Structure 1
Amino acid sequence: MSGGVLFEFVQMGQVMRVAAIDEATGTEVFIVAPVNATRLQMERVAMAKLRRKLGEQQPIPSRPSGRYA
């Protein structure tokens, strides 16, 4: 991805529909997440799906120790 990524969040009841759009290509993917997930969690999942769709492989970042939200 050479350009940026736009995120769109739309709440639908108890779920959040998140779109990730690659600015350079216009490629768009959607995920559905529970509304109690953090924005960062939703963005990470959507970004991973967008990277897969664009054929990019990037290492998964290591999780910090401690409690997970």
Structure 2
Amino acid sequence: MVTKRAGGGQPPLLGEVLFEFQRHGNILRVVAIDPKSGTEVIMVADPRQSKTVIQRLAARKLAYVLAKNQAKTQR
């Protein structure tokens, strides 16, 4: 999955992404993990949304965090 972010920077390419879903009442806790770097992001989603949409949003957040971390290391 390739996502573009505002600002024109090149996002990192996401290969495999691991997802974990936990339902807590009327919210869904989603963890997206990049197995190569061990980076993980956590988000809360509406469980009424489709799994595909939730995974896309979590992967997008993961790509943002990876790009942010990559920019920090390049400074």
CA offsets, 1:35-59, max 9 Å, x none?
Answer: 1011001101100000000008xxx
More helix by share: 2
Distance 1:37 1:2 in 2: 23
**Total equivalences in the alignment:** 56
SS in 1 for 2:65: helix
Q: Runs in 1 of length 4+ with deviation above 6 angstroms?
A: none
Counterpart of 2:27 (choices 8, 15, 21) is 15
- Structure 2 unaligned segments of length 5 or more: list them: 1-12, 69-75
| Whole-Å separation in 2 of the counterparts to 1:11 and 1:2 | 26
Q: Spell out, residue by residue over 1:2-45, the C-alpha distance to the aligned partner (whole angstroms, 9 max, x if none).
A: 64110000001001000000010000001101110110011011
1:46 match? 58
TM-score normalised over the length of structure 1 = 0.75
Q: Distance in 2 between matches of 1:2 and 1:11?
A: 26
CA-based RMSD: 1.5
**Structure 1: which 5+ residue stretches go unaligned?**
57-69
Residue 35 of structure 2 aligns with an amino acid whose one-letter code is E
Percentage identity across paired residues of the two chains:
41
Name the SS for the 2:55 alignment partner.
helix
Letter matched to residue 19 of structure 2: F
8 Å contact kept, 2:14–2:63: no
